[in-house]
Amino acid sequence: MAALAGKLTKKLVENLGPGRHGDGNGLYLVVDPGGARRWIVRVTVKGQKNRKGAPLRTDFGLGGADVVTLHQARDRALEYRRMSKQGLNPRFNAARDIPTFEEIAQQVHIDRMPTWKNVKHGQQWINTLRDYAFPKIGRMPIDSIEQPEVLMCLSPIWTDKHETARRLAQRIKIVLDVAKSKGFRSGENPVTAIKDGQILPKVKVKPKHHKAMKWQEVPAFFADLKSRDAMAAKALMFTCLTGSRTGEVLGMCWDELDFAARLWTCPAVRMKTGDDHRVPLSDEMLAILEPLKAMQSEYVFEGQKRHKPLSNMAMLMLLRRMGVEGVTVHGFRSTFRDWASEVANVPREVAEMSLAHKVGSGVERAYARSDLIERRRELLGGWNVYVSGGAEKA
pLDDT digits (tens, 9 = 90+) for 222-258: 999 999 999 999 999 999 999 999 999 999 999 999 9
Q: Residues 27-37: what's their mean pLDDT?
A: 86
Q: Which residues contact 195 (CB under 8 A, 6 or more apart)?
A: 169, 170, 173
Q: Are strands 55-64 and 257-258 parallel, antiparallel or unpaired?
A: unpaired
248, 266 in Cβ contact below 8 A?
A: yes
For the chain, give the percent of residues with pLDDT over 70: 88
What distance in Å separates the CA atoms of residue 142 and residue 63, rounded to the nearest whole number?
11
The residue extents of the domains of the chain are 10-93, 101-195, 215-393
Q: Would you state the pLDDT for residue 139?
A: 86
Q: Residues 273-291: what's their mean pLDDT?
A: 93
Q: Would you state the pLDDT for residue 99?
A: 84
Q: Which fold has domain 215-393?
A: hpI Integrase; Chain A (1.10.443)
The beta strand positions in the chain, using DSSP E, are 19-24, 27-31, 37-49, 55-64, 257-258, 263-266, 277-280
Q: Which residues contact 45 (CB under 8 A, 6 or more apart)?
A: 55, 56, 57, 58, 84, 87, 88, 89, 90
> In this model, does residue 107 exceed pLDDT 80?
yes
| Residue 394 binned pLDDT confidence (cut-offs 50, 70, 90) | very low
Q: Residues 125-145: what's their mean pLDDT?
A: 90
> In this model, does residue 96 exceed pLDDT 60?
no
First to last CA, the chain: 86
**Weakest-pLDDT range from 167-181, 222-236, 314-328, 366-380:** 366-380
Give the three-class secondary structure for 28.
strand
Cα angle 30-31-33, degrees, rounded to a multiple of 5: 135
> In this model, does residue 190 exceed pLDDT 70?
yes
> In this model, does residue 14 exceed pLDDT 80?
yes
Cα radius of gyration (the chain): 29
> In this model, does residue 118 exceed pLDDT 90?
no
86 vs 256 pLDDT, higher one: 256
Q: Residues 14-21: what's their mean pLDDT?
A: 92
Second-level CATH architecture of 10-93: 2-Layer Sandwich (3.30)
Average of per-residue pLDDT values in the chain: 85
Cα angle 4-77-2, degrees, rounded to a multiple of 5: 35
92 vs 45 pLDDT, higher one: 45
Q: For 329-375, how does the pLDDT look when each residue is reduced to its tens digit (9 = 90+)? A: 999 999 999 999 999 999 999 999 999 987 765 544 554 567 899 99
The amino acid that residue 86 corresponds to is Q
> In this model, does residue 292 exceed pLDDT 90?
yes
> In this model, does residue 208 exceed pLDDT 60?
no
Q: Would you state the pLDDT for residue 374?
A: 94
**Weakest-pLDDT range from 197-201, 293-297, 319-323:** 197-201
90 vs 166 pLDDT, higher one: 166
Q: In what order do the strands lie in the sheet with 37-49?
A: 19-24, 27-31, 37-49, 55-64
Burial of 244 (0-12, 13-18, 19+ CB in 10 A): buried
283 vs 50 pLDDT, higher one: 283
Q: How far is CA 112 from CA 132, 177, 191, in A?
A: 20, 14, 21
Q: Check if 10-93 and 101-195 are the same fold.
A: no
What distance in Å separates the CA atoms of residue 330 and residue 314, rounded to the nearest whole number?
13
Q: How many Cα atoms within 13 Å fall on the side-chain side of residue 220? A: 10
| Residue 81 binned pLDDT confidence (cut-offs 50, 70, 90) | confident
| Residue 94 binned pLDDT confidence (cut-offs 50, 70, 90) | low
Q: Would you state the pLDDT for residue 66?
A: 78
For 29, phi then psi, to 5°, come to -100, 120
Q: Would you state the pLDDT for residue 170?
A: 93
Check if CATH label 1.10.10.10 holds for domain 101-195.
no
> In this model, does residue 393 exceed pLDDT 50?
no
Burial of 52 (0-12, 13-18, 19+ CB in 10 A): exposed
